Amino acid sequence: MTAKNPIPAKLRARRVREYVERVLHDLRAERVPRDAVRCCCVTEPTWDCLDLYTIALDMAEDSELRFLVQQARGTIIAHLVRQ
């Protein structure tokens, strides 16, 4: 994103970012046919990342991580709706 539109804090959270990157790696390794695998950067609010965060939310193992991913996913949705 540009300096005018900095990366939202919820997308920069280390625990969320590392978890979503692992999910992306696993999806690519399994060659899952989803838009999520085209995600270039897990901190960019794009449609591909929205799909990735949706999958990550479904796969989250604990309630705290689910909550954090849900918040980050909401940030992506809000950004996409504003466009």
- What one-character-per-residue DSSP string does 5-72 give? SPPPHHHH-HHHHHHHHHHHHHHHHTT--SGGGG-S-TTS--HHHHHHHHHHHHH--SHHHHHHHHHH
Cα–Cα separations (whole angstroms), residue 55 to 2, 4, 7, 19, 30: 27, 29, 21, 11, 14
pLDDT at 21 over 60: yes
Domain ranges in the chain are 9-82
pLDDT band at 34 (very low <50, low <70, confident <90, very high): very high
3-class SS at 75? helix
Looking at the predicted structure, is the pLDDT value of residue 12 above 50? yes
pLDDT in tens, 41-76: 999 999 999 999 999 999 999 999 999 999 999 999
The single-letter DSSP state of residue 80 is: H
User: At a CB cut-off of 8 Å and minimum separation 6, what does 10 contact?
Assistant: 16, 68, 71, 72, 74, 75
